[in-house]
Amino acid sequence: DAGVTQSPTHLIKTRGQQVTLRCSPKSGHDTVSWYQQALGQGPQFIFQYYEEEERQRGNFPDRFSGHQFPNYSSELNVNALLLGDSALYLCASSLGYHRVAFFGQGTRLTVV
């Protein structure tokens, strides 16, 4: 049983560019959340998708957007990249938003 898978594992982008990160939830899970983890900090909640809708959002600007597909997979899009967007981006999935969340290994984004 595959766990939460994220792609790509590493990515380097230039300031001002746009990036799309992808997440496939654990088999049987229908809820996906995204987190940003800066170096030396705990993960910070970006937003959560359930039934293809954004259900809850953290304190992140509109440059951060997402989508959930009918197969429950999800994308995180970040526009107009800033150097400060360099971080580990984590995806977590659960069966319903009220169940235990399991994390993927993350995508390491570096903005230069």
Dist. CA 37–CA 90, nearest whole Å: 7
Dist. CA 25–CA 11, nearest whole Å: 20
Report if residue 60 touches other proteins, rule: CB under 8 A: no
Residue nearer to other proteins on the CB measure, 84 or 96: 96
Contact in structure between 72 and 30 (CB atoms under 8 Å): yes
Residue nearer to other proteins on the CB measure, 4 or 19: 4
Cis status, amide bond into 43, omega within 30 of 0: no
Report if residue 50 touches other proteins, rule: CB under 8 A: yes
Which of 76, 81, 101, 111 is in the footprint of other proteins by CB under 8 A? 101
Residue nearer to other proteins on the CB measure, 18 or 41: 41
Report if residue 88 touches other proteins, rule: CB under 8 A: yes
* Closest approach of other proteins to the CB of residue 88, in Å: 7
Report if residue 25 touches other proteins, rule: CB under 8 A: no
Q: Output the CA torsion 18→37→110→5 (10° steps).
A: -70
